[in-house]
Each structure stands twice: as C-alpha cells, then as structure tokens.
C-alpha cells in the first residue's frame, strides 16, 4: 500500500478523493495547511469538519500552522487580483510548497491536493504550482491526477449532501470574501431591478 500526502483545503473537497484513495489501496496522510483562510473562526470551522471526517475514516491528519500574517506578506500587492489570478498562484504555491516539504521530511514519494478537485479553481494553475513545489526536492513528485474525472465530481456533490457538510460561500481569504459579497450585492440589485420592472 502506497502512502500519499493529500494536501486538503476542506471536507467538501476532500471526501470523494479520500474515498477513492482508500478504495484504491492508497493510504492518505491528510495535510491541513491553509493559512489563506480568514478569519480564524472560519479556518477552525473548516479544519474541525475535515478532522472529524478523517477521524471517522481512520485517516491521519497533520495540522499545519495558521500564520495568516505570513500569508498576507506572500500575497502583498496582489490584494485586488481577481480569483484565478496572480494572488491565487502565490496562494497555491505557499500551500503546495509546504506539502512537498512534508512529503520530503517524511520520506513519502508523492503528494497531491484537493485544490485540484474544485471546479472553481483553474486546474492548470494548481498543477503548475504543484510541479514547481515538487521541483524543490529530488525525492518528491507531484501527483497531477485530475480529481474531477472518473465520476469524482458527481461523487463530491453526493457526499457533500450525504454528510451535510458546511456550505462555504467564499474561497478562503478576505479578498475572496470581499468579492463574494460584491457579487451577491450585484445579483440582489439585478433581481430587485427585474422585479420592479415586472411589477410596473
Ligand atoms: S481566492 Fe482562494 S486561492 Fe485565491 S488567494 Fe484567496 S484563498 Fe487563495
């Protein structure tokens, strides 16, 4: 049985990947390292849900640090980038470099990430960050399996409902929260304008 480091961002993105690994004779070691998530209460909420799920499955969880200030330093100057832009490239890189280091330190040959399972993320951008992170070490490879294929996207949605996971409404950082709020306000104003038109 091969052991693989699975960098995980949250329970909804992880459940189908974990299920697939366990069914394919792979022992995942979940690495929760997401210093991008803000505020801390949100970080703890996502971490606790994932940890509880892993405990039920008997999967080890390695709890990374939440150094949000260091993460803010890393993305300095990119605060107004759109999602899937340059800030996200740095954000993926910070997290996957730590995953590669954990794999290296523990003598585990491969790591992968649940970031690659979310249809909200740019897969090429995630994979490029994973390969760049792996290149730091001779003995570590990034596993670029497409975690959205082989029915895993549907399975993700089914497990989300089955386990009743918390439904996140923004990617993680305060900048994505700001943008999500803006989008919601725009939608609300469009709906209100539409209903005013139809009631005239
Ligand atoms: S939007 Fe998401 S991926 Fe992009 S920087 Fe923020 S937390 Fe990271």
Phi-psi label, residue 183: left if phi above 0, alpha if psi -120 to 50, beta otherwise: alpha
Write the residue with the smallest CA distance to atom 5 of ligand 1: 88
Domain that holds residue 167: 2-199
Write the residue with the smallest CA distance to atom 4 of ligand 1: 88
Name every protein residue with a CB atom under 6 angstroms from any ligand 1 atom: 36, 83, 87-88, 91, 171-173, 175-176
If you measure from the C-alpha of residue 88 to the centroid of ligand 1, how many angstroms do you get, rounded to a whole number? Answer: 5
- Mean pLDDT of all residues in 185-195: 83
* Of the candidate ranges 13-17, 73-77, 116-120, 156-160, the one whose mean pLDDT is the lowest: 116-120
- Mean pLDDT of all residues in 185-199: 81
Residue 169 clears pLDDT 70, i.e. is over it: yes
Q: Assign 41 to helix, strand or coil.
A: helix
Who contacts 121 (Cβ-Cβ below 8 Å, separation ≥6)? 84, 88, 115
pLDDT per position as a tens digit, 40-72: 999 999 999 999 999 999 999 999 999 999 999
**pTM > 0.75: yes or no:** yes
* Nearest alpha-carbon partner for 113 in 187, 29, 7: 7
The total of structural domains in the chain comes to 1
**Domain at 139, CATH number:** 3.40.50.620
Q: Which residues pair with 5 in a beta bridge?
A: 29, 111
């Amino acid at each position: 049985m091969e052991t693989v480091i699975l960098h995980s961002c949250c329970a909804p993105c992880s459940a189908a990947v974990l299920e697939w690994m366990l069914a394919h004779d792979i022992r995942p070691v979940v690495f929760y390292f997401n210093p991008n998530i803000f505020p801390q209460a949100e970080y703890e909420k996502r971490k606790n849900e994932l940890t509880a799920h892993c405990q039920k499955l008997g999967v080890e969880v390695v709890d990374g640090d939440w150094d949000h200030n260091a993460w803010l330093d890393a993305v300095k100057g990119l605060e107004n980038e759109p999602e899937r832009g340059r800030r996200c490239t740095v954000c993926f890189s910070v997290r996957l470099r730590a995953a590669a280091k954990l794999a290296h330190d523990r003598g585990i040959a491969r790591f992968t990430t649940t970031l690659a399972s979310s249809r909200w993320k740019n897969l090429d951008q995630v994979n490029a960050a994973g390969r760049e992170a792996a290149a730091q070490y001779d003995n570590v490879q990034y596993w670029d399996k497409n975690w959205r294929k082989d029915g895993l996207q549907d399975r993700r949605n089914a497990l989300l409902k089955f386990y009743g996971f918390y439904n996140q409404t923004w990617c993680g950082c305060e900048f994505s929260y700001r943008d999500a709020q803006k989008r919601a306000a725009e939608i609300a104003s469009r709906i209100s304008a539409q209903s005013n038109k139809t009631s005239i």
